Structure 1
Amino acid sequence: MFGILLSAFNVVLGFVFRSIIAKFFAYFAMWFVTTEFISVLQSAGILPSAASLAGAFGGVGSDVWYFLDLFGFSYGAPAIVAAFATRFIIRRIPVIG
């Protein structure tokens, strides 16, 4: 009886170390690399700053802004940019992309 319990404990312990803890460290490493990759892109000047985007959208006339607001541009544009950035980052992960 004691041997069966010890064997079951060994199987559970092996499962925890092989799957749960190993995957945690692997996914944490991938998350850390992607977040640091974004900060490197920001410091290199590849990603636009808020001031440059404000200057670019400052030149748009009020008649164009009416239709942009009508179509929900203020909600849709950030969602699309975030989706493209997420897709770009995910495709750079070797295991997933």
Structure 2
Amino acid sequence: MFGIVLSALNMALSFILRSIIVKFVIFFALFFVVTEFIQVLISSGLLPSANGVSSGLAGIPSSVWYFLDLFNVTAGIPIVLSAYVTRFIIRRIPVIG
């Protein structure tokens, strides 16, 4: 009976150590690397910031702005751009993409 309990405990412990903890460490490291890499790209000016997109929309006439404000385009464009950049970066990581 003791051998069965010890075997089950050993199997559960090996499952926790091999799959759960190792995957957590790997994915946390990938998350940390990607977030820091994005900050470096933004600070170096290689990626557009939300302020740049907002200033690019300054030439639109007021008659069009009414409809753009209804659909909240000024908040949506930076969200869509950041989603595309994130998708591009995630597909370039060999482990995930």
Fold match, TM over 0.5?
yes
* Greater alpha carbon shift after TM alignment, 5-14 vs 76-85: 76-85
Give RMSD over aligned pairs: 1.9
TM-score of the superposed pair, with normalisation by structure 1: 0.83
Number of aligned positions between the proteins: 97
Between the two structures, name the one with larger relative contact order (CA 8 Å, sep ≥ 6).
Answer: 1
Code of the aligned partner of 2:76: G
Q: Which runs of 5+ in 2 are unaligned?
A: none
Q: Is 1:17 aligned with 2:28?
A: no
Aligned structure 1 segments of 4 or more residues deviating by more than 3 angstroms: 49-54
TM-score, normalization by structure 2: 0.83
User: Structure 1 89/28 Cα, relative in aligned 2: closer, same or farther at 3 Å?
Assistant: same
Q: Is the 8 A contact 2:50 2:78 kept in 1?
A: no
